[in-house]
Amino acid sequence: MRGQTVLPRDYDVFAGLDVDKRTLAVTFLNHHGLLRSVRMPYSVDHLLNHVRKHFGDQKVAFAYEAGPTGYGLYDGLTAQAYPCVVAAPAMIPRAPGQRVKTNRLDSVSLAENLRGGQLRSIHVPAPLYRELRHLTQLRDTFVRQQAGMKLRVKSLLLFEGLPFPTAPPGSQWSARVLAELRTLPCTGAVRFKLDQLLDSIAFTSQQVHQTTRAIRRLCQTEVELARCIGYIRTVPGLGWSVASQLLARLGDWRHIHHGRQVAGFLGLVPTEHSTGETIARGGITRTGDGRLRSKLIQAAWVAVRQDGELRAFYHTVYRSHPPDRAARIAIVAVARKLGLRVAAVLKEQRPYVVRDDLRSAPGAQAETMPQGTPRRQAEPGAASS
């Protein structure tokens, strides 16, 4: 989801900013050529004072690359009514033969592309959605750490030839299993390593729960977040966890113009290399947040069991592709439809309503899921919707 670009004819001076944690390399251009390149401390006030001193009677537009320094410059400049483009690094035009890279040259390139109207801003999230994004990213970090510790426990037991406690599917890490691991007979060094790993699992589990509570607390306190998450949860297959992360990544619903915008942002649209009458589409683009895309695909497996329309759509796509990859193609197509539904409920600010005649699509109930169809797919291939 991208913001607007700068129309060069509306401005007199174009400032390209190359940002690091301490300094700014700034290049100012007008329509006739280079005005100046300067280096200054990383300070919005310092930059604005310089602009007011040298270009006080001219219209100035700014641009810099999205990166680890965040949106502080954007906030400071837009607060003073200066337009600022925050460009995605991968979308900035670069000369293929260029072999020299410096902060000054990068600022010159940004200023030239801004003057040429070739930069389009990313969608900069509002402060409220940045807060939610911080918390959802932190929860994902702790979940990954917890999963890593569990894999280390299994690797240790495999290396030592020790059996992992038997448990029904879905309860491999229940309290009973963890208690058995605490008493598993082994040597002193292995016992110490295993206990430390189990302690780490317990600690990261506590961190996950605390962060989840913090996310819920924020979403319950902020009326807009609570309302939007409520709308998203009315879409079949989407629970609270996926809804909160979707909202954190999509940001302000007022910037959503159509559903294809959200599907493209989630990386659920096919790549395409077409020319003339030849149409060639490939796998999904995989742009955006891969973890969110994986969660949406997991939610799609739930949705096809709850929603007759999606179930019929899944089987339609499944039957039109080779059996070895039909399931993953079909479920990605369903995930894309979920993205379109999310865009609709957010844009229109209303709950999703399943029509009575679509609660069970004709023939969908009698048709079962394909034998051996996986319920979870981390990164499927092409989408054909």
Residues 152 and 50 in one domain: no
Average pLDDT of 44-59?
Answer: 93
Average pLDDT of 85-106?
Answer: 89
Q: What is the pLDDT of residues 59-95, one digit of tens each?
A: 999 999 999 999 999 999 999 999 999 999 988 988 8
Q: What is the CATH number of the domain that holds 98?
A: 3.30.420.10
- Asked whether residue 380 is assigned to any structural domain, the reply reads no
CA-based R_g, the chain, Å: 26
- Asked whether residue 378 is assigned to any structural domain, the reply reads no
- Asked whether residue 368 is assigned to any structural domain, the reply reads no
Residues 173 and 260 in one domain: no
Q: How confident is the model at residue 354 (pLDDT cuts 50, 70, 90)?
A: confident
Average pLDDT of the chain, as a whole number: 88
Q: What is the pLDDT of residues 242-251, one digit of tens each?
A: 999 999 999 8
Tokens representing 126 are: 């509002």
- Asked whether residue 226 is assigned to any structural domain, the reply reads no
Lowest mean pLDDT among 77-81, 179-183, 329-333, 380-384: 380-384
Last residue of a domain, one of 221, 241, 264: 221
The pLDDT score that the predictor gives to residue 99 is 83
Last residue of a domain, one of 82, 107, 122: 122
The pLDDT score that the predictor gives to residue 383 is 42
Residues 299 and 322 in one domain: yes
Q: How confident is the model at residue 365 (pLDDT cuts 50, 70, 90)?
A: very low
Q: How many CB atoms lie within 10 A of CB 87?
A: 22
Q: How many CB atoms lie within 10 A of CB 380?
A: 24
Residues 106 and 139 in one domain: no
Residues 281 and 201 in one domain: no
- Asked whether residue 29 is assigned to any structural domain, the reply reads yes
Q: What is the pLDDT of residues 33-47, one digit of tens each?
A: 888 999 999 999 999
Residues 257 and 323 in one domain: yes
Q: What is the pLDDT of residues 269-279, one digit of tens each?
A: 888 888 888 88
**pTM, 2 dp:** 0.83
Residues 255 and 336 in one domain: yes
- Asked whether residue 379 is assigned to any structural domain, the reply reads no
Residues 105 and 152 in one domain: no
Residues 258 and 339 in one domain: yes
CA dihedral 197, 199, 202, 206 (to 10 degrees): -120
Residues 39 and 92 in one domain: yes
| Structural domain total, the chain | 3
Lowest mean pLDDT among 28-37, 72-81, 253-262: 253-262
Tokens representing 195 are: 């206990």
Last residue of a domain, one of 122, 145, 164: 122
- In whole angstroms, what is the distance from residue 282 CA to residue 1 CA? 22
- Asked whether residue 234 is assigned to any structural domain, the reply reads no
- Asked whether residue 235 is assigned to any structural domain, the reply reads no
Residue numbers of the domain that contains 149? 127-221
Residues 264 and 354 in one domain: yes
Residue listed under structure tokens 């077409």: 274
Residues 274 and 330 in one domain: yes
